[in-house]
Amino acid sequence: MTLAQPSLYAAEDSSPYLTIRLLTAEIAQQMVSSAVANCDKRGYRVAAAVVDRNGNLVAFLRHSLAAPHTVKVSQRKAYTAATLQSATSDMSHRPDLNFAPDILLIVGAVPIKFVGHFYGGMAVAGAPPDIDEQCALAGIEAVSDILLFAD
C-alpha cells in the first residue's frame, strides 16, 4: 500500500507566492479617529478598533468618556468581523458561534474590503448597535479614496 504524499508544487503558470495587502498603522488610525468622531457628533462616546486579517489589533481609540467595557467589546467585535470576513449584523443566524473563542456576535463590526482585497475588520462599541455599525462604516469611508486607488 502506497501513501500519497502532499504536493507543494505550483502550477507552471501560477506564482508560488501569495500577495496580501495590509493596512498601515496610519491608515488604521485615521479609521478609528473618524469613527469615534462620527459617533461623537451623534452624541455617543465610543471606542473603535481596527484589526488585521488575522484579528491582531492595528489601531484603537477610546473617547475619554466612553465606558470601560467598550475597550474589549470593540476589539472582540472587530476580531469577529475579520476572522469571519462578515459584518456582525449578518451573523445573527449563527448562534453556534457564540461559544467560539473571542467571537462576539453583537452588531457594530464590519469587514474591511476594497476592490477585491480583504484587509481586516473594524468595530465600534458604546452606542446602540446599529449606530456602532454606522460609525464603523464612516471610519472606513474616511479612507476609501486611499484604499480604492492603492494600486
User: How far apart, in whole angstroms, are the C-alpha atoms of residue 57 and residue 23?
Assistant: 11
Provide the pLDDT for residue 1.
46
* This prediction's pTM: 0.87
**Nine-digit cell at 10?**
505550483
Helix (H, G, I), strand (E, B) or coil at 76: helix
Mean pLDDT of 60-72: 98
Residue 132 identity:
D
The percent of residues in the chain predicted with pLDDT above 70, rounded, is 90
Mean pLDDT of 21-47: 96
45 pLDDT tier (thresholds 50, 70, 90): very high
Given a cut of 70, whether residue 8 has pLDDT beyond it is no
**Residue 107, beta-bridge partner list:** none
CA atoms within 13 Å, Cβ hemisphere of 23: 35
User: How far apart, in whole angstroms, are the C-alpha atoms of residue 27 and residue 32?
Assistant: 9
- Superfamily covering domain 25-148: Haem-degrading domain (3.30.450.150)
Given a cut of 70, whether residue 112 has pLDDT beyond it is yes
